[in-house]
Amino acid sequence: MLDKAMIEKILVAVDGSENSNRAVDVAAELGVKLGAELHLVHVLMHGRPTPELMRMAEVEHIIQEVRPEEMSRADYSPRTYLETLKSDSDGSRIARVVTAIGEQVVARAEARCSERDARVATKSVRSGDCADEILEAAGDYGVDLIVVGTRGLGRVRSAILGSVSQKVLHNATCNVLLAV
């Protein structure tokens, strides 16, 4: 059982998936009840296959909310970011799109927290191995609890526990709550 005095800072890993949204909701509720501050972290999907990025953009409808002005005009020639993902041959524009999507994911998570009157202390968008970055952020912010979804946007949806959540669970030095 978690003691109210033990939980002052909660890190929430967000990726825009349904499980991530549940993690945000659970963390926001805990944050309000415990008077804890939330730290939102998103790890960019650089290096992931383009089809997975397109799935994220289409299924989560994030691509429609990322405004063209978030990229310079020189980088934005297709009519939509989805077109950019499909047509970028060298990956240079994809990196900018991925960053814009990451910022939108964090903004959505912050809005969900705000709707529940939860206090967001920090928001960060990082690049690197997802689990490693989540664990590093937990250390950077000195959190008492990490809340993460059990499965994110990966292709293997039938897995009981996603590889990111499993690595976080096994390597965290604080409490971990898995949202299913």
User: How many distinct structural domains can be found in the chain?
Assistant: 1
Residues 6+ apart with CB under 8 A from 120: 37, 38, 39, 40, 110, 113, 114
Q: Over range 114-118, report the average pLDDT.
A: 97
Do residues 13 and 150 make contact, with C-beta atoms less than 8 angstroms apart? Answer: no
pLDDT tens for each residue of 66-91: 555 555 444 444 455 556 555 655 56
- pLDDT of 65 reads 55
Q: Report pLDDT for 7.
A: 95
The whole-number pLDDT of residue 99 equals 83
SS3 of 116, please?
Answer: coil
Q: Give the predicted TM-score (pTM) of the model.
A: 0.75
Is the confidence at residue 24, as pLDDT, over 70?
yes
Domain that includes residue 165, residue range? 4-179
- How much is the average pLDDT of 51-56? 56
Q: What's the rounded Cα separation, in Å, for the pair 103 and 171? A: 26
CATH code, 170: 3.40.50.620
pLDDT exceeds 80 at position 152: no
* Residue with the larger pLDDT of the pair 34 and 157: 34
Q: Tell me if residue 85 falls in helix, strand or coil.
A: helix
Number of helices (H) and strands (E) in the chain: give both, helices first.
6, 5
